[in-house]
Amino acid sequence: MNQEFPTFPKECKSMLCKHLTKEVFTSLKDKKTSSGFTLQDAINSGVENIDSGIGVYAGDEESYDTFAALFDPIIEEYHSFSVDDKHKSNLNPNDLKAPNPDPEGKYIVSTRIRVGRNIDNLPLGPAITKEQRNEVEKQVSSALKSMSGTLSGVYYPINGMSEEVSAKLIEDHFLFKAGDRYLEAAGLNRDWPEGRGIFHNDEKTFLVWINEEDQLRIISMQMGGDIKEVFTRLTSAISEIEKSVKFSYNSHIGYITSCPTNLGTAMRASVHIKLPKLAEDMDTFKAITDKHHLQIRGIHGEHSESEGGIYDISNKRRLGVTEVECVQDMYDGVVALIAKEKSL
Ligand code: ADP
Ligand code: DAR
């Protein structure tokens, strides 16, 4: 294993290059978790990709303790969440105040709310073995087979999927491809596409990605802006799956995920929304998204650009806030953005 303290170029702005001091490196370089995950494994993505925002991934829940000297300051800075803080969860849709903000469908093209989940007592994607990953696929796809009513559907393993089916699912934003260079360097694409696949219900409003960045991405999505209906479907699906799959969770950092940015609720609630007038005044646009703790992405996922004045707007906060608060953040921000767009 490389025992050299990595030298980062001055243009590196990642949280890794900020918080991996020589002292932290020296204190952690010889440690490994019970799944054999080392400091080098945790930082490889940020060492190979100096344009990372964060640059670190956990190989198991233990990584967050074993490498706490590096993870804790990153978690504190990204989430404004200290080592003594406790996460809390609330998946009750009755607590969400969110009448459809765009009943005429003038602005919101589609709504998607997802959570990441990982199975308790198994390594995360960066450290999991091929056999363990195949076991995850078997356990989760079998749990999904018992989904009933509007949640019932079909599981499609990516291994052996026809190019035609794959292209159509990707075009519909339903399927994931092999991870980007950040995920590649984190070891999340090992054995691709073995053990990976997608489940979706007949209406394609409920989807589960198996073994992407996390072992499950549980997704509820539909056209239009009925955010409460999307959230309600998601919470029903989560509780159904939880009847047969135990998720990795702890009282400090909530649901355990491979990337520290997703800890806590592991929830991203997003709309694809048309804001052509606001797009001409990005200072005002960003003042509103900043005020409501929102992130702006492009419409083809993380690191993509917006197209035709359509933006992916989602909650930025995930840890130290409940799932209801994540969706409320997004909802309140969308109401403010639509009001501003109307006024221009
Ligand atoms: P994630 O949200 O799963 O962390 P991405 O930002 O890469 O990851 O989004 C994953 C996929 O979901 C992308 O194809 C993206 O276009 C799609 N997506 C995200 N939000 C929406 C939305 N509100 N409506 C439709 N598709 C969406
Ligand atoms: N590109 C990596 C990941 C940051 C958060 N996004 C995730 N987890 N998909 C980075 O360090 O910038």
User: Which residue is closest in CA terms to ligand 1's atom 5?
Assistant: 301
Catalytic one of 137, 240, 257, 259: 259
What distance in Å separates the CA atoms of residue 210 and residue 216, rounded to the nearest whole number? 5
327 vs 304 pLDDT, higher one = 327
Among 272, 294, 295, say which to mutate for ligand 1: greatest number of ligand atoms within 8 Å of CB.
272
Of 61, 213, 323, 341, the active-site residue reads 213
Atom of ligand 2 nearest to the CA of 52: 12
Residue matched to tokens 């005002």: 284
* 267-274: strand order across its sheet: 153-157, 197-201, 206-210, 216-223, 108-117, 267-274, 310-315, 294-297
Please check whether the two domains, 15-79 and 93-343, share a CATH topology. no
pLDDT number for residue 2: 59
Query: Is pLDDT at 230 greater than 90 in this prediction?
Result: yes
In whole angstroms, what is the distance from residue 164 CA to residue 61 CA? 38
Q: Do 248 and 231 touch, CB atoms closer than 8 A?
A: no
Integer angstrom CA distances of residue 275 from 111, 262, 291, 307: 15, 27, 17, 11
Given a cut of 80, whether residue 3 has pLDDT beyond it is: no
Contacts of 4 (CB under 8 A, 6+ apart): none
Scanning the structure block, which residue is given the tokens 């303790």?
A: 65
Q: Is the pLDDT of residue 93 over 90?
A: yes
C-alpha angle 259/143/222, rounded to 5°?
65
* Ligand number with the minimum distance to the CA of 183: 2
Does the annotation mark 297 as catalytic? yes
Mutate to test the pocket of ligand 1, among 299, 300, 330 (most ligand atoms within 8 A of CB): 299
Q: Which CATH superfamily is 93-343 part of? A: Glutamine synthetase/guanido kinase, catalytic domain (3.30.590.10)
Pocket of ligand 2 (CB under 6 A): 52-55, 182, 213, 259, 261-262, 302
Q: What's the whole-model pTM score?
A: 0.96
The answer on pLDDT for 200 being more than 90 is yes
pLDDT beyond 80 at 110: yes
Active site residue 114: yes
CA of 1 to the centre of ligand 1 (A): 36
> Relative to the alpha carbon of 302, which ligand is closest?
1
16 pLDDT higher than 80: yes
85 burial type by CB count under 10 A (0-12 exposed, 13-18 middle, 19+ buried):
middle
Mutation probe of ligand 2 site: the residue of 78, 302, 303, 317 with most atoms within 8 A of C-beta: 302
Q: Which of 112, 133, 196, 217 is catalytic?
A: 217
Note if 259 is an active site residue: yes
Q: Is 117 a catalytic residue?
A: no
- What average pLDDT does range 28-35 have in this prediction? 97
Confidence at residue 243, expressed as pLDDT on a 0 to 100 scale:
96
Per-residue confidence band for 167, with pLDDT thresholds at 50, 70 and 90: confident
The closest residue, in CA terms, to atom 14 on ligand 1 is: 173
Average pLDDT over residues 93-109: 97
CATH code linked to domain 15-79 = 1.10.135.10
Q: Mind listing the pLDDT tens digit for each residue in 239-265?
A: 999 999 999 999 999 999 999 999 999
- Mean pLDDT over the full length of the chain: 95
What is the C-alpha R_g of the chain?
20
Specify the pLDDT at position 294.
Answer: 96
- Please state the domain extents for the chain: 15-79, 93-343
State mean pLDDT over 12-37.
Answer: 97
Judged by its nearest atom, the ligand closest to the C-alpha of residue 12 is: 2
| Mean pLDDT for the stretch of residues 292-301 | 91
* C-alpha span between 272 and 225 (Å, rounded): 9
- What pLDDT shows up at residue 193? 95
Q: Kindly give the distance from the C-alpha atom of residue 178 to the centroid of ligand 2, in angstroms, as a whole number.
A: 15
Return d(Cα 222, Cα 230) in angstroms, integer: 7
Ligand 2 center–CA 53 separation, angstroms: 6
Concerning whether 302 is annotated as a catalytic residue, the answer is: yes
